[in-house]
Structure 1
Amino acid sequence: MDYELPLGTDPVSIRRRVEAMEHVLERAFTVPGINRQIGLDAVLGLVPVAGDVIAAAMGLYIVWEARNLGMSRWQLARMTANVGFDTLIGALPVAGDLFDFLYRSNSRNLRIIRRHLDKHHPHTRVIDG
């Protein structure tokens, strides 16, 4: 997948940036042996406090891009709650690290954005073949 990040404010550019950020945060690396994909969200969660704050800020960037798309307050609130819940539980020692490995708030937020884009900007869809 090509992850060139267009700088435009059009829905196609925003979709590409959000998809690239979700990929980095949730699926950038594959764990050998278990063949499970993880991203910076889980890796940063291993660093106490600062890692969770950085991961939350990166997750909130996705919410900010959703706001730029004109998504509803309800959708933005759900997305912010996803990031907040991930950050809150992810901050717990040991259990939070396992939680970060399983709960993918950025993937959930990407699904919300894709539903919005598919409904309001169908020309942004990319058909993978």
Structure 2
Amino acid sequence: MDLRDQLPLGTDPASIRQRIEAMEAMLERAMVVPGTNFRFGLDSVIGLVPVVGDFVTAAMGAYIVWEARNLGLPKWKLWHMGANVAFDTAIGAVPLVGDAFDLLFRSNTRNLKIIRKHLDKHHPASQVIEG
């Protein structure tokens, strides 16, 4: 069973929330530094590839913003989310400094927080209770 079998394909808020949460986890928290609790994800790893890596992770971050648009978030929230992705991409493109920055500034986690706040207010049934 692979990831495609586990993620819902629906357009309902609960399905979209699960896809966004899975993308954020993969980009920001998929791996842990051995011997610590410090987590990092593909955003930091792919970002090590000069130029191309930053555009790939920007596209993945843009996917989260696109899904937020499908949820009906207000335009000002979408602009805020887009600015988070753009800022992360711009600073992440700076050699060495950008790679360290990617470990600390988690634009996708920030955007997930905006989405969760919106969903919890407007679609409380989309909350997933983890057990």
Q: TM-score, normalised by structure 2?
A: 0.93
After superposition, residues 100-115 of structure 1 pair within 5 angstroms as: 100-115=102-117
Could you say which residue in structure 2 is the equivalent of 1:67? 69
Matching of residues 1-129 of structure 1 within 5 Å: 4-129=6-131
Amino acid aligned to 1:45: G
Secondary structure of the residue aligned to 1:70 is: coil
**Count of residue pairs the alignment pairs up:** 127
How far apart, in 2, do the equivalents of 1:50 and 1:17 lie?
A: 24
How many angstroms does 1:35 deviate by?
3.1
Query: Could you report, residue by residue, the CA deviation over 1:62-85 in whole angstroms, capped at 9, with x for unpaired residues?
Result: 000000001100000000000000
Quote the Cα distance in structure 1 between the aligned partners of 2:14 and 2:35: 36
CA distance in 2, matches of 1:82, 1:97: 16
Identity of aligned residues (%): 67
Output the aligned Cα RMSD. Answer: 1.0
TM-score by length of 1: 0.95
Cα distance in 1 for partners of 2:94, 2:36 equals 24
Letter in 2 for 1:17: R
Unaligned 5+ runs, structure 2: none
Gaps of 5+ in 1: none
